[in-house]
Amino acid sequence: MKRLVMSVLVMGSLVVSCTSAEEEAREHAVKACAAYDAYGEKRDDSDTEAPEEIQARAAAARFDDEAALAASKDMRWDQLSDAMTGMQEVVVQAAIASDEARGDAERAAAMKKMEQLDHGAVALKAHQECEKVTG
């Protein structure tokens, strides 16, 4: 009987820890999508003094890091993490391409990289994965 009680207690604690990890992963997924949405809104109306590329890299790092944390705690968020990693690269390349202080060759290379990444498809995938989080 004592062994049965101990087994039940151990199983109960495992269920609680799994649920806790899943909840924590979901919180990170929600934060990733919130940071992604905030980047999209702020991008059009930025009032900071930092150069656009620095702002873009920082914003992209925020949503990518949160998505990676979600995926590390619960594999169900792997596709979200992949989508946010893709978006991070698109954001960085877009910032480089629009930076007039850079040379034409560097800006053209960034534009080419964005085309190779298929930025429209990457953005659509990120949006779809965030719909799974919030929907």
- Quick one: pLDDT at residue 42? 61
- Quick one: pLDDT at residue 54? 79
Q: CA distances (Å), 103 to each of 25, 99, 106, in order?
A: 41, 9, 5
pTM (predicted TM-score): 0.74
Average pLDDT on 19-46 reads: 80
pLDDT digit string (tens) for 43-82?
Answer: 555 555 557 777 777 888 888 889 999 999 999 999 999 9
Average pLDDT on 112-133 reads: 92
